[in-house]
Every structure is written in structure tokens, then in C-alpha cells.
Amino acid sequence: MCPGRPARDTVALVRYPSRRAFADMLADPEYAVADPVRMSALSEAVLQPTRSIMPA
């Protein structure tokens, strides 16, 4: 836990083929329809891009 930061009790890790694929998904009109459903199930959503430390 980090002082001054909210506690997290659930974390989801998602891997996309590329950052472009992720951006394309966000731009898709069908995603825009589903996103309010996703957000209604969450108190907060934090996107944290990462890089693999394992060789490709």
C-alpha cells in the first residue's frame, strides 16, 4: 500500500497485440456502446501501459 493512494482490491491485466490495436479498439463505435457497461461495474479504471521484460 502506498500512503495517500487509494487501496486496490482487484487488478486485471490485459495484453493487446500492440498499442495500435488498443487505440483501434477504443476508436471502434461498438466499443463506445459497451464502455458505459464496463465503467458502471467499476469504481475506478486506471490504464497503466507497460512493456514486457521478457524477450519477444
12-54 pLDDT, tens digit per residue, is 888 888 889 989 998 999 988 988 888 888 777 888 888 878 7
Contact indicator for 49, 19 with CB cutoff of 8 Å: yes
Give residue 56's pLDDT band: very low, low, confident or very high (50, 70, 90): low
Assess whether pLDDT exceeds 90 at residue 9.
no
The predicted pLDDT at position 24 comes to 95
What's the number of CA atoms in the CB half-sphere (13 Å) around residue 54? 1
Give 2's pLDDT tier (boundaries 50, 70, 90). low
